[in-house]
Amino acid sequence: MHRAQLYANHLSADNAIDPLSAQPTGAVSARAKYTKKPLKVVVTGAAGQIGYALLPIIADGRAFGDDQPVVLHLLEVPAVEKALAGVVMELTDAAYPLLAGVVPTVDPAVGFKDIDYAILVGAFPRKQGMERKDLLEKNASIFKDQGQALDKFAKKTVKVLVVGNPANTNALIASHYAPSIPKENFTALTRLDHNRATAQVAEKLKVPVYSVKNVIIWGNHSATQVPDVNHAVVETTQGKQSVAKLVDAQWLSTFRETVQKRGAAVIAARGASSALSAARAIVEHVRSWHLGTTDGEFVSMGVISTAGLYGAPEGVIFSYPVVIKNGKWAVVKNLALTEDVKKTIKVTADELVDERKMALGK
């Protein structure tokens, strides 16, 4: 295991001064002074293509804020330890002022030690011809082990984002095997689907993507997910307008299918799964969780469900619209659902129940 490398002062870990007292100089000094205690963030699968796209964004302050230093724990499997060393070299060479340290390791006891955030990217990839249940069987043991490691080594306040698919049920598995950590601290990434839906609306209406707010992804991060624009708005110079009133039924049908199958379309086009867009979605998910959502806006996040809330069964990780304040998420209540959305939510909910039975036997 390599010792943490403290880039703020360019000294080895053995001789390093406290990074909180380091005062970087130059054009970035105003945003990079270490006035906060560094957050410890573990990224699994750190040498993979998503990790390679993700780590620079975190190190540059876009996940936790441009005044928040981080120590990155990079956890990988032994087979790619050499590649991981190359990633560490690049992080060093990039000289990120907010990167207070890097801990590359293949040991979960080191990777999960006293961490504040866990971003679980590493998972067995879906290969051609594999059914979803086959993927779940492969990944169940991985997320069981990671849940146990979190339970044993991480802070009890750790916040966990599961990216590896099937993300919702993998998050449930990890939570099940980490009983000392609150269930609300385990989430699954549906922000990528949320972003895809937002981008499709912006493209249709020929508006900037930032002007589209409050699309929703219900349910599972799978082809059964339910993209919903019935509560979405577009902000224009004339004020807020309902997206549902600006599009027709035929486009809505195409829109839903496009979002549901976007991941497969990316694989078909580039021969690999989404990495750039996944990395950005991860950072946005974490940033919203850490810094909160804007008043009047909500985002999609896979969280532990409550029985009957918008048709979801109890005890699965279900994507809901949420608002976040002071690090705590809350599902947006009392949104009206169309009959079509209710029907399709039932499909995605049933899939999550089936996945839970396969993974946990209940």
- Which residues are CB-neighbours of 158 under 8 A, at least 6 positions away? 115, 116, 117, 118, 150, 181, 185
Indicate which residue of 73, 194, 221, 231 is catalytic: 221
Contact 70, 56 (CB under 8 A): no
Quote the tokens at residue 344: 């399709």
Q: Are 63 and 286 in contact (CB under 8 A)?
A: yes
- At CA 119, angle to CA 190 and CA 351, rounded to 5? 35
CA nearest neighbour of 352 among 253, 255, 218: 218
Phi, psi of 229 (to 5 degrees): -110, 15
For the chain, how many helices (H) and strands (E)? 11, 14
Distances (CA, A) of 326 to 2, 287, 322: 34, 12, 13
CB neighbour list of residue 26: distance below 8 Å, 6 or more residues apart = none
Q: Which of 218, 185, 190, 212 is nearest to 200 (CA)?
A: 212
Secondary structure element (H or E) that encloses residue 248, with its range: none
The yes-or-no answer on residue 285 being catalytic is no
CB 68 within 8 Å of CB 98: yes
Structure tokens belonging to residue 352:
């999550």
The angle formed by the CA atoms of residues 306, 311 and 315, to the nearest 5 degrees, is 30
- Catalytic positions, please? 221
